[in-house]
């Protein structure tokens, strides 16, 4: 499990109350983080996301109940747009998937633990129009080969400030392959957006990269020419 990255501005995310009917295993899980490496749920019928299943992008942390157009006995623990994963308190906290936009109501598993074992990992796809929650999830769990498409998406579809936040996130990863991809993207962005990048805006990135072994030679020859 992975928490929300400290480098990334946090939006309002779903929360769930602490209820006796909901298994303790759920609350132990979200205490560790909200993003899972296994996130794709195969379904017996197509969903609005895919012909063979749907993604759970983030788990709700403890807090007020999420306001949702659902009956009171259905308590959401995941929500992205009109798609909800819920505990059905009338059925012993069975897990259901609901898409209110297309009126799809599926019972997925009799317990949360059964539901959790069904989830699979799939290679992230950074598609135009994806939610911030979905993008953050995929970027956080990205393998080194996923970093380049993640940063290309950020450059094309996110505000510059958000793009720089993600560069900082990857610059501070322990994986040098991720650092190197982020450095390449940073150098490209410096050329592309030079007139929009003040020293104050990029100083955290310069500091992060200057401490990286993969960037030492690059900074020796390039940084002095950036200002």
**Tens digit of pLDDT at every position of the chain (227 positions):** 999 999 898 888 899 999 999 999 999 999 999 999 999 999 999 999 999 999 999 999 999 999 899 999 999 999 999 999 999 999 999 999 999 999 999 999 999 999 999 999 999 999 999 999 999 999 999 999 999 999 999 999 999 889 999 999 998 888 989 988 988 888 888 887 777 777 777 788 878 777 666 766 665 555 555 54
For residues 95 and 106, give the distance between their C-alpha atoms in angstroms, rounded to a whole number.
9
Helices 176-192 + 144-157 axis angle, to 10: 20
65-94 in b/e form (b: 16+ CB < 10 A) is ebebebeeebbbbbbbeebbbbbbbeeebb
Alpha carbon of 165 to those of 8, 195, 203, 223: distances in Å? Answer: 6, 18, 12, 19
For residues 147 and 139, give the distance between their C-alpha atoms in angstroms, rounded to a whole number.
7
Give the pLDDT score at 191.
Answer: 80
Backbone angles phi, psi at 213, to 5 degrees: -65, -30
Give the pLDDT score at 72.
Answer: 94
Residue holding tokens 């946090």?
A: 10
C-alpha 15: how far from chain center = 16
Cα-Cα-Cα-Cα torsion 177, 123, 35, 77, nearest 10 degrees, comes to: 170
**27, 63 Cβ separation under 8 angstroms:** no
Give the pLDDT score at 94.
Answer: 97
Pairing of strands 15-16, 61-62: parallel
For residues 36 and 59, give the distance between their C-alpha atoms in angstroms, rounded to a whole number.
9
Taking CA 126 as the corner, what is the angle to CA 144 and CA 203, rounded to the nearest 5 degrees?
Answer: 60
**CB neighbour list of residue 114: distance below 8 Å, 6 or more residues apart:** 95
Give the pLDDT score at 222.
Answer: 56
For residues 91 and 59, give the distance between their C-alpha atoms in angstroms, rounded to a whole number.
21
Give the pLDDT score at 27.
Answer: 96
Give the pLDDT score at 134.
Answer: 95
Give the pLDDT score at 16.
Answer: 96
Backbone angles phi, psi at 42, to 5 degrees: -65, 140
């Amino acid at each position: 499990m992975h928490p929300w990255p400290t480098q990334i501005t946090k939006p309002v995310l779903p929360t769930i109350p602490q209820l006796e009917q909901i298994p303790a295993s759920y609350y132990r899980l979200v205490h560790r983080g909200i993003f899972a490496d296994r996130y794709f749920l195969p379904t017996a019928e197509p969903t609005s996301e895919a012909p063979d299943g749907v993604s759970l992008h983030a788990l709700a942390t403890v807090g007020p109940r999420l306001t949702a157009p659902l009956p009171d006995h259905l308590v959401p623990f995941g929500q992205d747009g009109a798609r909800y994963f819920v505990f059905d308190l009338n059925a012993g906290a069975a897990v259901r998937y609901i898409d209110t936009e297309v009126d799809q109501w599926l019972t997925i598993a009799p317990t949360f633990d059964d539901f959790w074992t069904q989830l699979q990992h799939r290679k992230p796809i950074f598609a135009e129009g994806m939610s911030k929650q979905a993008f953050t999830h995929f970027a956080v769990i990205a393998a080194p080969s996923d970093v380049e498409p993640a940063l290309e998406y950020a450059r094309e579809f996110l505000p510059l400030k958000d793009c720089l936040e993600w560069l900082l996130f990857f610059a501070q990863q322990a994986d040098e392959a991720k650092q190197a991809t982020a450095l390449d993207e940073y150098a490209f962005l410096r050329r592309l957006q030079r007139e929009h990048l003040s020293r104050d805006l990029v100083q955290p990135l310069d500091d992060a990269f200057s401490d990286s072994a993969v960037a030492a030679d690059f900074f020796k020859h390039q940084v002095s020419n950036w200002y």
